[in-house]
Amino acid sequence: MERSSRISLRPLMTPFNLALGVILAVGCVLTVLRFTGGLSVVTNLDDNNPWGIWIGFDLLCGVALAAGGYTTSAACYLFGLKRYHSAVRPAILTAFLGYALVVLALHYDVGRPWRLPFPIFWQQGTTSLLFEVGLCVFLYLTVLLIEFTPAVFEWLGFSKLRNAVVKLTILLTIFGVVLSTLHQSSLGALYTIVPSKLHPLWYSSYLPVYFFISSMFA
Is residue 86 over pLDDT 50?
yes
- Position 134: which residue type? G
Is residue 156 over pLDDT 50?
yes
How much is the pLDDT for 25? 92
| Max Cα distance, the chain (Å) | 68
* pLDDT tens track for 63-82: 766 777 778 888 888 888 88
Of 2 and 53, more confident: 53
Is residue 4 over pLDDT 60?
no
The pTM for the full model equals 0.75
- Residue % of the chain over a pLDDT of 70: 90
Is residue 128 over pLDDT 80?
no
Enumerate the domain spans of the chain.
1-37, 48-217
Range 99-135 burial, b when 16+ CB lie within 10 A, else e: beebbeebebbeeeeeeeeebeeeeeeeeebebbbbb
User: What is the mean pLDDT of the segment spanning 99-106?
Assistant: 82
Confidence tier at 35 by pLDDT (50, 70, 90): confident
Q: What is the mean pLDDT of the chain?
A: 79
Confidence tier at 5 by pLDDT (50, 70, 90): very low
Cβ neighbours for 172, distance < 8 A, ≥ 6 positions apart: 143, 146, 147
Is residue 21 over pLDDT 80?
yes
- Position 89: which residue type? R
CA distance readout (Å), 50 to 45, 102, 106, 178: 5, 17, 12, 30
Cβ neighbours for 139, distance < 8 A, ≥ 6 positions apart: 175, 179
Are 100 and 142 in contact by the 8 Å Cβ rule? The answer is no
User: What is the mean pLDDT of the segment spanning 151-156?
Assistant: 85
How much is the pLDDT for 33? 86
How much is the pLDDT for 84? 81
